[in-house]
A and B are shown apart, each in its own frame.
Chain A
């Protein structure tokens, strides 16, 4: 070669080298809180074999992981735990939100269930389905690798510019309506006169 490189040496960009290493050894943190977790286990088991894509090293300590997989619904008691786990993971780190519940609350539109983890932690990849098939999660992991290769930088500059929340604002318009209704309802007490007539449940704004 013209530049006279010795054999076994090739030239690349630092970013590309880092991305190549990072994307092929994602270490997932399995945050499996519900039924989606079973499918996550199936993905890691021999039939679907997450190891084919270099992401089989599930660690239960966030300090050793760089890919948070939120599999299952997250309730308001669990959300601080999830946030803490996310903050404990070392950089660079990514997050996959797996299943309808983690992405949007799914069918559990109740007082205790967070309506999508992306309102409170940054999410890189959403996997739809209830539960998603292991193939879908595999596709997400492959897609995640592609994203790391595409956008990754060795110093994590692509993270620094993401300074807005990815999800909808926590208190959207519907939420405000409901809080308003709730305050109206709170004024009524229980009495025989109120039964069935004066005191109605909150109007449903969706």
Chain B
């Protein structure tokens, strides 16, 4: 298991951890996130990026930061799993892309960008992946209404005589 003290010693004391049920999460400041992740990959054997996603905490009781970006890592040799989190805020939530560490990050970062508007610098092709190119909102942000802002009905109508 990766001890917190080992991480703190190497990457600074800004790193903390908390446990929810049997789930251990390591909280990393955004500034050192890339160093921590690349260290975890090269020196601690976390060879697989299982998932990369984000959470919007708008209106959540007691939340201090707007977004959390979550990285789920897996060590294929020991079977150890690790959750790494980092907090981000508006305006301009930006992180360094981990595409250079794990190719799996390609589409996951595009999805987080598409849904939350978090940009990943260094990503080779940061386009929307789910929504159409011309869509201009980030639908999983909590201040985006569930039923949208009318984008779903902004199309030409084809009548029978006109087709």
Contacts and interface: CB of A to CB of B under 8 A. Distances in A.
Query: Do A and B come from the same complex?
Result: yes
Interface stretch (A16-24, A25-33, A135-143, A189-197): A189-197
Contacts of B139: 111-112
Interface in B114-163: 130-132, 139, 142-163
B147 A122 contact: no
A57 B156 CA distance: 30
Contact of B153 (A175, A183, A190, A201): A175
B66 interface: yes
B90 interface: yes
B161 A162 contact: yes
Interface in B42-86: 58-61, 63-64, 66
Interface in A6-49: none
A170 B154 CA distance: 8
Nearest to B161: A163
A122 B150 contact: no
A141 B157 CA distance: 25
Given A76-B151, A178-B150, A195-B59, A111 B161 contact: no
B157 A179 contact: no
Contact of A199 (B58, B159, B160): B58
Contact of A165 (B90, B150, B152, B159): B159
Contacts of A112: 131, 139, 148, 152
Contacts of B131: 77, 112
Interface range on chain A: under 10, 10 to 19, 20 to 34, or 35 or more? 35 or more
B89 interface: yes
Contacts of B146: 109-111
B150 A175 contact: yes
Would you call the interface of chain B mostly helix, strand, loop, or mixed? loop
B163 A87 contact: yes
A120 B145 contact: no
Contacts of B130: 77
A186 B141 CA distance: 11
Nearest to B91: A189
A112 B144 CA distance: 12
Interface stretch (A58-66, A78-86, A96-104, A125-133): A78-86
A121 to B, nearest CB: 5
A181 interface: yes
B163 A120 contact: no
Given A112-B148, A182-B145, A199-B58, A122 B153 contact: no
A3 B153 CA distance: 60
A113 B59 CA distance: 26
A53 interface: no
A196 B59 contact: yes
A121 B163 CA distance: 9
A184 to B, nearest CB: 10
Contact of A83 (B147, B154, B156, B161): B156
B149 A199 contact: no
Contacts of B154: 170
A139 to B, nearest CB: 23
B151 to A, nearest CB: 6
13 contacts: A76-B151, A80-B155, A87-B163, A111-B152, A112-B148, A120-B158, A121-B158, A121-B163, A122-B158, A122-B159, A164-B159, A165-B157, A189-B90
Given A179-B150, A183-B149, A199-B59, 4 more contacts: A121-B163, A178-B147, A182-B145, A182-B148
